Amino acid sequence: MKKTFIKGLVVSSALLLLISCKKEEPVAAVIDTNQIKEEIQAKENEFADTYNAGIVKDIGYHADDAITYPQNSEPIVGKTAIVEFLKTHRDTISKGRKISFKTEEVFVSNDANQVVEVGTYKVVDSTEAVVNSGNYMSLFVKRDGKYVCLRDMSTSDLPN
């Protein structure tokens, strides 16, 4: 009887030790997708406001190593090249027109360091007539605590 009691005590102790050594799973951080969507929309609004004002400059929208895939053009590589492309585009195509962006959806990574944005854009002339509209996708990454666009592409939904 004594041996059975000792064996039971040893087995119980071993089980208790194993249970107590079980590693706790880290609690996943709560990600506020709506707040991130608002943050991305604010970046889009700042981009549109700056562009519509005829001021094309680095506003912290694109990452230094960003690539944009404009319609009917080769990819533009690097923030400096993208800003220069936008200046040329603004001066030759968009003068007198206003662009706006609407973030429709965001898909946020588990650690919130990457966000894929799906949105729509609209370009209107001085009479508010739509001259172009379409859809876009952008990949944002968090660097130094702020989201910057790493990749983006768009497509018009108007016939040629």
Provide mean pLDDT across the span 113-119: 98
- Give the pLDDT band (50/70/90) at residue 158: confident
Between 21 and 152, name the one with better pLDDT: 152
Q: What percentage of the chain exceeds 70 in pLDDT?
A: 78
Per-residue pLDDT for 147 more than 80?
yes
pLDDT for res 55: 77
Per-residue pLDDT for 18 more than 80?
no
Strand-pair partners of 141: 114, 148
C-alpha–C-alpha distance, residues 138 and 21, integer Å: 44
Residue spans of beta strands (DSSP E) within the chain: 62-69, 76-77, 98-108, 114-124, 130-143, 146-156
Q: What percentage of the chain exceeds 90 in pLDDT?
A: 59
Confirm if 100 and 117 have CB atoms less than 8 A apart.
Answer: no
Report the predicted TM-score, pTM, of the whole model to 2 decimal places: 0.78
